[in-house]
Amino acid sequence: MEYKNLGKSGLKVSRISFGSWLTFGKQIGDTTAEDLMTIAYDNGINFFDNAEIYARGQSEIVMGEILKKKGWRRDSYIVSSKAFFGLGGKDLPITAKGLNRKHLVEACEQALQRLQVDYLDLYFCHRPDKETPIEETVWTMHNLIQQGKILYWGTSEWSAQEIMEAHMIAKQYNLIGPTMEQPQYNMLHRDKMEVEYSQIFKTVGLGTTIWSPLASGVLTGKYNDGFPKDTRLNIEGLEWLKDTSLAEAHLERVRNLTSFSQELGTTMPLLGLSWCLKNDNVSTMILGASKTSQLEENLKVFDVIPLLTDEVMEKIDTILNNKPVDPAFL
Ligand code: NDP
């Protein structure tokens, strides 16, 4: 396993990590969840990602039970939660969501209880909150760190401008600013990681815990020729994900990449994952899996990275034809 500092922090995170969105407490049983976490941990994965909204809190409950049962040393793994959406649902009070002080503090307490841990290693603002001043969020995160309830705080899907505003406020008041961001990054979604954050990586520094490295499974090639049963895109209520994921332009790219992966002597999932890790600004890539066989395959990603020579990366770019252009170089 390879490890990397999380941005400019001293925290060493495994370059691949494991998350529970749509799976724990929802798509898979608790025994499979335990098997997956065990395989991950036994192979050197030291970061487990979660959020209050995942299965409306149930995902954190399942993960907390597993952490307790396994009895792994608390200093051997990193666990996260994210706040913003609350627990979802129609009856959610307006005070139970967002990045205001009340919700961030309460969501942290609730995550600690569900995960059965004394502190969260990483605590993310799951989305920007246009209705809360960033100053209030920065102060709250700083105070949670001072109280020992969280160790590092970060953002998810914030713009570069919002991240820099948080840094400016932190600097102004001598507070601890954000360490990491959790953006989507994969062969089909490249802008934030390859263009938008490029200055932040060089200046204040930014650890990244990238999500959906396989674009929810589309980059495995499993949707190339139809729609298999027993996948997340069949989950009720996820029609939005199905519609956005299965755009013909995406599928066309993946069909061509699947042929190329075979020429290279690897598989489409491993090509998609190894391509993400070629980006040095990726601190850790969060894997998702609904079956142990998927995780076992994905753990072989480090074997494929040497195949990705400059020439191969260029060929992939030609097939993808979606390389984002930095406006500074137009
Ligand atoms: P991926 O894009 O890698 O999708 C994972 C899914 O792809 C699996 O559950 C499985 O789906 C399929 N799959 C994975 N490997 C294989 C394989 N080898 N062969 C065939 N199918 C495979 O990641 P996720 O979308 O799950 O995201 C990873 C993590 O990122 C989440 O758990 C969460 O922690 C985080 N995340 C954060 C978000 C944010 O807003 N901050 C948003 C989304 C995710 P199937 O069951 O369909 O077969």
Atom of ligand 1 nearest to the CA of 233: 47
Cβ distance 77 to 42 under 8 Å?
Answer: no
Distance 118 CA to ligand 1 centre (A): 27
Total domains in the chain come to 1
**What number of other Cβ atoms are within 10 A of residue 248's Cβ?**
7
Which of 41, 54, 185, 223 is flagged as catalytic?
54
CA 81 to chain centre: 11
Mean pLDDT of 128-147: 98
CA angle 21, 52, 168 (to 5 degrees): 105
pLDDT at 277 over 70: yes
Probe residue for ligand 1, chosen from 192, 216, 300 as the CB with the greatest number of ligand atoms within 8 Å: 216
What CATH code is carried by the domain that includes residue 129?
3.20.20.100
Name every protein residue with a CB atom under 6 angstroms from any ligand 1 atom.
19-21, 23, 49, 156-157, 182, 211-217, 220, 222, 231-232, 269, 286-290, 294, 297-298
Could you tell me which residues come within 8 angstroms of residue 130 by beta carbon, excluding any fewer than 6 positions away?
A: none
224-268 tens-digit pLDDT: 998 898 999 999 888 899 888 888 999 999 999 999 999 999 999
In a domain, residue 23? The reply is: yes
**What number of other Cβ atoms are within 10 A of residue 7's Cβ?**
23
Backbone angles phi, psi at 144, to 5 degrees: -65, -35
In a domain, residue 237? The reply is: no
> How confident is the model at residue 246, as a pLDDT?
87
> How confident is the model at residue 243, as a pLDDT?
87
Distance 18 CA to ligand 1 centre (A): 9
Average pLDDT over the chain reads 96
Give percent of the chain above pLDDT 70: 100
Could you tell me which residues come within 8 angstroms of residue 144 by beta carbon, excluding any fewer than 6 positions away?
A: 104, 105, 108, 123, 150, 153
Backbone angles phi, psi at 10, to 5 degrees: -90, 0
What is the rounded CA–CA span in Å between residue 86 and residue 73? 29
> How confident is the model at residue 286, as a pLDDT?
98
Model confidence at 138, in pLDDT bands (50, 70, 90)? very high
Backbone angles phi, psi at 293, to 5 degrees: -65, -35
Cβ distance 165 to 130 under 8 Å?
Answer: no
Nearest to 196 by CA among 327, 284, 322: 327
pLDDT at 45 over 90: yes
Cβ distance 16 to 54 under 8 Å?
Answer: no
In a domain, residue 228? The reply is: no
In a domain, residue 254? The reply is: no
3 vs 90: which has the higher pLDDT: 3
> How confident is the model at residue 90, as a pLDDT?
85
> How confident is the model at residue 175, as a pLDDT?
98
pLDDT at 330 over 80: no
Per the annotation, the verdict on 54 as an active-site residue is yes
Distance 143 CA to ligand 1 centre (A): 33
What is the rounded CA–CA span in Å between residue 156 and residue 224? 30
> How confident is the model at residue 84, as a pLDDT?
98
Distance 91 CA to ligand 1 centre (A): 28
> How confident is the model at residue 89, as a pLDDT?
85
Model confidence at 16, in pLDDT bands (50, 70, 90)? very high
Cβ distance 251 to 218 under 8 Å?
Answer: yes
* Runs of H (alpha helix) within 203-267: 239-245, 248-264
Nearest to 296 by CA among 27, 45, 2: 45
Probe residue for ligand 1, chosen from 185, 286, 293, 304 as the CB with the greatest number of ligand atoms within 8 Å: 286
Atom of ligand 1 nearest to the CA of 231: 47
In a domain, residue 302? The reply is: no
pLDDT at 154 over 90: yes
In a domain, residue 240? The reply is: no
Model confidence at 308, in pLDDT bands (50, 70, 90)? very high
In a domain, residue 198? The reply is: yes
Closest Cα to atom 48, ligand 1: which residue?
A: 231
Nearest to 139 by CA among 170, 184, 164: 170
Distance 59 CA to ligand 1 centre (A): 14
> How confident is the model at residue 329, as a pLDDT?
73
In a domain, residue 301? The reply is: no
Closest Cα to atom 12, ligand 1: which residue?
A: 217
> How confident is the model at residue 78, as a pLDDT?
98
What is the rounded CA–CA span in Å between residue 290 and residue 288? 7
Cβ distance 129 to 98 under 8 Å?
Answer: yes
Nearest to 267 by CA among 210, 214, 328: 214
Domain that holds residue 203: 3-216+276-290
Beta strands 16-19 and 12-14: pairing type?
Answer: unpaired
Q: What is the pTM of this model?
A: 0.97
12 vs 227: which has the higher pLDDT: 12
